[in-house]
Amino acid sequence: MIAKIQKFISSTEFSNALKVTIAAVSPVLLFSYLDNFQIGFTIALGAFFTFPSDIPSNLKHKINGLLVTSFIIAGVNLIINLCYPLPWLFYPVLLLLVFGVSMILVYGQRATMVSFSALLSLSLAFAHLNSGWEMLQYSGLLLLGGLFYTLISIIFFHIKPNRYVELQMAECMRLTAKYLKLRGDLWELNSDRKAITKKQLHFQVELNVLHENIREILVTSRTKSGSSSQNRKMLLSFISLVEVLELAMATSFDHNKLHQKFDGYPRALQTYQNLAYNLAKSLKLLSKSIEDGKAYESRHNLIEDLQQFESTIKDYKKNIQTESSSEEVLMLITMLHYAEKQVEKIITLERAYTNNINPKDLKGRDKDIEKFIKPQYYPLSTFVENLSFSSTVFRHSLRITITILLGYMIGKVLPLENVYWIILTIVVIMKQGFGLTNERTYHRIFGTLVGGVIAFGILSVVHDSYVISTIAIVAMLLGFSFNPTNYKIGATFITIYVILIYGILAPDNGNVIEYRILDTIVGATLCLLANYLLWPSWEFLNLPEYIKNAIEANRNYLKEISTLYNKKGEVPTEYRLARKQAFIEIGNLMASFQRMLQEPKSKQNKLPQVYKLTVLNHSLLSSIASLGTYIQSHKTTEASKAFNVVVDKVIENLEFAMNILEKQHFDSNTIASNEDLDKRLTELKNIRAKELKQIKLIDEEAYQIKMQEAQLVIEQLIWMTNLSENIVKTAQILMTVTPKNETVYNTSL
């Protein structure tokens, strides 16, 4: 229990909550002491509005983002107050303001949070409307609050400048360890491989997000500040983690076939599974040591595990000396080489946290690394290009604009206490996807009800304003801590905080919870109806694009591998960029599929085909990466004509599938005949069979190297061909019939 509390207190979420709590509570306490509570409360609101845009980044981007947010929230409040007395001006300005602020979502994560901060400021502007000089004074105090929060954030950054990236690295290690653990689970004889694959895809989505966050901070920090010992350590750790994941994905085995082959010698697979589990345990222990801030001590001797597996292979070769056993030995050797590479990378990680890192340790692995992050660039053309119904952001902006207008008008017509709470509920709950909006609606209502009961229970027992204030501050701190990871609990604590503050400011206002619940229900209902009726962004409308992007990324990755196999030499930056993009697009596809599962059953069109295409693309990426990893780590022979014919056919199949998903009309006769492909595959199989028969002494190094290349390359080519053909067939089924309830907004799909 104590360990969990310590972990919670050391988390990034708690640190962020502490920042906003200090920035919001300090001015209230100071100006309350000076008998001017309202000024302190307004400054606190400015800090509160600025807080959401404080996303992890390097210091320059952090400061710029917070300053822009501070001026925007003050400007939005001023515009609302200026226009409110003039209805003929107010309503058009309100619509344009909400729409414009919502549209900046097209510029990425930071812009999304700036937009959210601006909408928060807009919604609460109706809670305290001003006129004359007070308008400027109020907006100025909001700006001051934003600037004060910026100062607090900078101070926290300098106190522990590397803590965030350390925790992100620890989380990345933890998730990678879980991924490796699942690979170990696959070796169970009766394991549910479909369920394990689904979990692996889920972890890959989370890892993609973590990789992007860590990459931006490390690379940008390196570019701006140069290469420090700490930066080198983190960079080496990150590159090693990416390589561990790539290697895990790149090395796939036919588990059913292996179990059949080694039924008579189960020790081989059991020894390997134990090694696989220890790889995961080592990463998990390293992750925990980083979280706890303690020195890392290895508990698993991975070298001994490797030696034990190698000894098992030797025993197998000694005990089973038949011609048919040569292929099994090659399989075991392939497994051994995979394990050796993983052990090497994990030992590199362990060294990074037990020894000093020198620039030579990176060995050029950080070459052109700045090309792997997206530049901070906000062109007006991006905004203009999204002003059409083909853009999900455009439809979302229209949707939230109309919903806020309806919420405001309903609040004016009905005898509701606080109109702004309806608008605030809409701003907080409404997201681009129906599933996430639905989930947040449930969590917010739950949090409001439970938090209300707890808060009124506290007010009925505790009457001392200082004690109530202390509880309110603690509730605020916990609310902001849980909000990013568990919105239900976060909403509960924030409700407690709001009601306790009301209890101090207006002790006789006992019906505040009734109005808050009613306003929340009205706002949540409007969100659900709007997301369902107003140009809904159902995932099945976007999935063909995500699938096409994944196929295209796999195609580009395969092209780079083919070039490398033909030309040999050093791995170019273009290869690594293509690999990164392939991983990202598969993650995006899986994330889209997960969002689809949150939507109504009636909107989950062609779900089996979508899932099949997701798994097929993931398997194809694994196969392509397997070939790429082998080429990088082995001296390969000259690429044969058969190799290039098969690769070209796989690329052609992928391009065919992309055309199907784009609904392009084409002549099926233009698709090349499979006759040459079949001939080349037969040729490859014959070569392999001939070499298998020729092997007499399997432990001869030259034969082993040749056989391993023949086995891996040929099997992967055959596997890629089958996968690409299945992708084409499944894409045809997916796009054959347009569902009756489908409304097409993007004609390019």
For position 673, which CATH number holds?
1.20.58
pLDDT score at 641: 67
205 and 590 Cβ atoms separated by less than 8 Å: yes
The span from the CA of 314 to the CA of 440, in Å, is: 57
Shared-domain flag, residues 335 and 216: yes
Question: What would the pLDDT profile of 636-659 be if each residue is shown by its tens digit?
Answer: 556 566 677 778 888 888 888 888
pTM, full prediction? 0.75
The span from the CA of 47 to the CA of 45, in Å, is: 5
The yes-or-no verdict on residue 667 having pLDDT over 50 is no
Shared-domain flag, residues 431 and 458: yes
The span from the CA of 617 to the CA of 544, in Å, is: 13
Residue in the block written with tokens 């290039």 = 644
Confidence label for 664 from pLDDT (cuts 50, 70 and 90): low
pLDDT score at 204: 77
Beta carbons within 10 angstroms of residue 506's beta carbon? 10
Please provide residue 403's backbone torsions phi and psi, each rounded to the nearest 5 degrees.
-65, -45
Question: What would the pLDDT profile of 482-500 be if each residue is shown by its tens digit?
Answer: 887 788 888 888 888 777 7
Shared-domain flag, residues 411 and 318: no
pLDDT score at 16: 84
Cα dihedral 396→398→404→408 (10° resolution): -170
73 and 427 Cβ atoms separated by less than 8 Å: no
Two structure tokens written together for 459: 């007010």
521-557 per-residue burial string, b: 16 or more CB within 10 A, e: under 16 = bbbbebbbebbeeebbbbbbbbbbbbbbbbbbbbbbb
The span from the CA of 180 to the CA of 286, in Å, is: 14
The yes-or-no verdict on residue 373 having pLDDT over 70 is no
**Helices 573-597 and 607-633, interaxial angle, to 10°?**
160
pLDDT score at 597: 79
Number of domains in the chain: 4
The number of residues making up the chain comes to 749
Q: What mean pLDDT, rounded, does the chain reach?
A: 76
What type of residue sits at position 175? L
- Among 615, 619, 610, residue whose Cα is nearest residue 734: 610
Q: Mean pLDDT, to the nearest integer, of 415-441?
A: 77
Confidence label for 366 from pLDDT (cuts 50, 70 and 90): very low
Distance of CA 228 to CAs 36, 57, 652, Å? 48, 17, 46
Two structure tokens written together for 57: 């980044």
The span from the CA of 574 to the CA of 566, in Å, is: 15
pLDDT score at 698: 45
pLDDT score at 744: 41
Beta carbons within 10 angstroms of residue 176's beta carbon? 26
311 in any annotated domain? yes
Beta carbons within 10 angstroms of residue 391's beta carbon? 18
Compare 391 and 675 and report the one with higher pLDDT: 391
Q: What share of the chain is helix, strand, coil (3-state, %, to 5)?
A: 80, 0, 20
Residue in the block written with tokens 């360990």 = 3
Two structure tokens written together for 571: 């791995």
Q: Mark out the alpha helices in 127-227 (DSSP H runs).
A: 133-159, 163-185, 193-225
Confidence label for 467 from pLDDT (cuts 50, 70 and 90): confident
pLDDT score at 143: 93
Shared-domain flag, residues 77 and 34: yes
What type of residue sits at position 147? L
What type of residue sits at position 294? K
pLDDT score at 142: 92
What type of residue sits at position 244? V
Q: Mark out the alpha helices in 568-674 (DSSP H runs).
A: 573-597, 607-633, 641-661
Q: What is the DSSP letter of 654?
A: H
Shared-domain flag, residues 171 and 155: no
Question: What would the pLDDT profile of 1-25 be if each residue is shown by its tens digit?
Answer: 666 677 677 777 788 888 888 998 8
544 in any annotated domain? no
630 in any annotated domain? yes
The span from the CA of 743 to the CA of 541, in Å, is: 8
423 and 407 Cβ atoms separated by less than 8 Å: yes
The yes-or-no verdict on residue 96 having pLDDT over 90 is yes
pLDDT score at 419: 78
- Among 346, 334, 344, residue whose Cα is nearest residue 253: 334
Confidence label for 72 from pLDDT (cuts 50, 70 and 90): very high
pLDDT score at 79: 92
404 and 426 Cβ atoms separated by less than 8 Å: yes
Confidence label for 694 from pLDDT (cuts 50, 70 and 90): low
Of 477, 509, 537, which marks where a domain is finished?
Answer: 537
Compare 210 and 529 and report the one with higher pLDDT: 529
pLDDT score at 365: 47
pLDDT score at 450: 85
Query: DSSP readout, 467-483?
Result: HHHHHHHHHHHHHHHHT
pLDDT score at 745: 38
Compare 397 and 390 and report the one with higher pLDDT: 397
Shared-domain flag, residues 407 and 281: no
pLDDT above 70 covers a percentage of the chain that reads: 77
Shared-domain flag, residues 622 and 585: yes
Q: Tell me which residue range forms the domain holding 296.
A: 163-363
202 and 133 Cβ atoms separated by less than 8 Å: no
443 and 491 Cβ atoms separated by less than 8 Å: yes
Residue in the block written with tokens 């070569």 = 687
The span from the CA of 431 to the CA of 368, in Å, is: 36
209 and 584 Cβ atoms separated by less than 8 Å: no
The dihedral region occupied by 364, where left means phi > 0, alpha psi between -120 and 50, and beta the remainder, is left
Compare 702 and 712 and report the one with higher pLDDT: 712
562 in any annotated domain? no
377 in any annotated domain? no
Compare 715 and 66 and report the one with higher pLDDT: 66
Dihedral sign from CA coordinates of 42, 48, 51, 53 = negative
550 in any annotated domain? no
Out of 37-51, 434-448, 626-640, pick the least confident. 626-640
pLDDT score at 712: 64
pLDDT score at 689: 53
Question: What would the pLDDT profile of 145-177 be if each residue is shown by its tens digit?
Answer: 999 999 998 888 888 777 777 888 888 888 888
Shared-domain flag, residues 495 and 351: no
The yes-or-no verdict on residue 401 having pLDDT over 80 is yes
The span from the CA of 129 to the CA of 114, in Å, is: 22
Dihedral sign from CA coordinates of 70, 75, 78, 83 = negative
The yes-or-no verdict on residue 210 having pLDDT over 70 is yes
Confidence label for 749 from pLDDT (cuts 50, 70 and 90): very low
Confidence label for 505 from pLDDT (cuts 50, 70 and 90): low
pLDDT above 90 covers a percentage of the chain that reads: 6
Two structure tokens written together for 738: 């347009």
Beta carbons within 10 angstroms of residue 584's beta carbon? 17
Shared-domain flag, residues 124 and 170: no
Question: What would the pLDDT profile of 520-565 be if each residue is shown by its tens digit?
Answer: 888 888 888 888 888 877 777 778 888 888 899 988 988 888 887 7
Of 125, 160, 195, which marks where a domain is finished?
Answer: 160
Confidence label for 633 from pLDDT (cuts 50, 70 and 90): low
Shared-domain flag, residues 524 and 664: no
571 in any annotated domain? no
pLDDT score at 151: 93
Shared-domain flag, residues 421 and 478: yes
427 and 119 Cβ atoms separated by less than 8 Å: yes
The yes-or-no verdict on residue 33 having pLDDT over 80 is yes
494 and 428 Cβ atoms separated by less than 8 Å: no
Shared-domain flag, residues 197 and 275: yes
Of 143, 160, 177, which marks where a domain is finished?
Answer: 160
421 in any annotated domain? yes
Compare 677 and 258 and report the one with higher pLDDT: 258
pLDDT score at 696: 46
The yes-or-no verdict on residue 221 having pLDDT over 80 is no
Compare 573 and 370 and report the one with higher pLDDT: 573
- Among 338, 10, 311, residue whose Cα is nearest residue 160: 10
Out of 46-60, 352-366, 582-596, pick the least confident. 352-366
Burial of 594 (0-12, 13-18, 19+ CB in 10 A): middle
Confidence label for 320 from pLDDT (cuts 50, 70 and 90): low
